[in-house]
């Protein structure tokens, strides 16, 4: 994959100017395509959220000037998370909110004033469409990529006992291999967090999976808009679930991870909220 050329950059500036020509119907259609809701009427105590499940860039943004292979990388999407979230939603009978648009288009899990809300580079490779988005461009992205997801989460979270945001991570970062298979990230302790760490730790060990406590990332040292906004600020127990993405690329290990997670979260729900929990 080659870095975008100066011609790519020039083309992106030209394309951005045309975004203001989108009519209300086109904007509404793009907004409707940005998010998917699963099992909205399910009685589970959980809401599953997958902010980085998709790698789609809406057509008017012309893939942000990037070659297609870039959109299949971890820069653009949490690999394997769409399939994993669908599985957990089905087996736990839990509602889920799944984002379709790439985090390169707009990263819902970042505050709007953070550099990677619309990140301008991929580890030094420029993202042409994100180098200088004007106010009209940014406003349209928020209208079709941020607002529908915000509304979906607000509506789906009502009455839920705990929120779980599902993500994946790369096995190696900055040349360092991560010694974790599944990470449980938390910012504030709660009976829910404690129970997940204990239960998943035990069941993960039985399955040969290494469970990280605020690893490979420590949420106490990082920014996480989704669960700050819809979890902690609303008094809802919550955690980020991180799974090593190469485990989700192989059918056998995907099955092992999925079975371990669904059994652990079903056990936790039965322990904490027996009247609303469903055994798997």
Using pLDDT thresholds of 50, 70 and 90, give the confidence band for residue 20: low
What's the confidence (pLDDT) of residue 153?
A: 98
Query: Is residue 56 predicted with pLDDT exceeding 80?
Result: yes
How far apart CA 202 and CA 270 sit, in angstroms, is: 16
Dump strand ranges (E) for 70-218. Answer: 96-99, 121-122, 125-126, 162-169, 172-173, 176-177, 182-185, 211-213
Using pLDDT thresholds of 50, 70 and 90, give the confidence band for residue 280: low
What's the confidence (pLDDT) of residue 30?
A: 97
Question: Which helix H or strand E contains 238, and what residues bound it?
Answer: strand 238-244
Segment 6-28 shows an average pLDDT of: 60
Least confident of 7-16, 48-57, 162-171, 184-193: 7-16
| Predicted model pTM | 0.92
Q: Which residue has the higher pLDDT, 174 or 67?
A: 67
Percent of the chain with pLDDT over 90: 86
- Please report the domains of the chain, with CATH numbers, ordered by start residue: 36-59+77-120+141-272 (3.40.630.40)
Instruction: Please report where in the chains the tokens 């292979």 appear, as a residue.
Output: 69
Using pLDDT thresholds of 50, 70 and 90, give the confidence band for residue 14: very low
């Amino acid at each position: 994959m080659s870095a975008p050329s100066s011609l790519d950059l020039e083309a992106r500036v030209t394309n951005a100017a045309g975004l203001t020509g989108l009519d209300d119907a086109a904007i509404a259609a793009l907004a409707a395509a940005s998010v998917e809701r699963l099992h909205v009427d399910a009685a589970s105590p959980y809401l599953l959220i997958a902010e980085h499940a998709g790698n789609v860039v809406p057509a008017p943004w012309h893939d942000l000037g990037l070659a297609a292979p870039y959109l299949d990388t971890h820069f653009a999407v949490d690999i394997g998370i769409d399939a994993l979230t669908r599985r957990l939603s089905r087996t736990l009978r839990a509602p889920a909110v799944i984002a379709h648009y790439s985090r390169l288009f707009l990263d819902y899990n970042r505050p709007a004033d953070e550099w990677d809300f619309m990140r301008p580079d991929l580890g030094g490779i420029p993202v042409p469409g994100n180098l200088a988005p004007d106010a009209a461009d940014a406003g349209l992205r928020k209208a079709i990529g941020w607002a529908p997801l915000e509304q979906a989460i607000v509506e789906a979270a009502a009455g839920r006992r705990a929120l779980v945001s599902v993500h994946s991570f790369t096995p190696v970062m900055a040349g360092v291999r991560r010694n974790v298979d599944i990470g449980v990230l938390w910012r504030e302790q709660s009976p829910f967090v404690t129970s997940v760490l204990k239960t998943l730790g035990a069941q993960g060990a039985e399955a040969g999976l290494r469970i990280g406590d605020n690893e490979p990332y420590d949420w106490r040292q990082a920014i996480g808009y989704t669960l700050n906004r819809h979890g902690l600020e609303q008094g809802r127990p919550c955690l980020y679930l991180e799974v090593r993405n190469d485990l989700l690329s192989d059918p056998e290990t995907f099955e092992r991870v999925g079975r371990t997670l669904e059994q652990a979260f079903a056990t936790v729900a039965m322990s904490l909220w027996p009247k609303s929990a469903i055994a798997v």
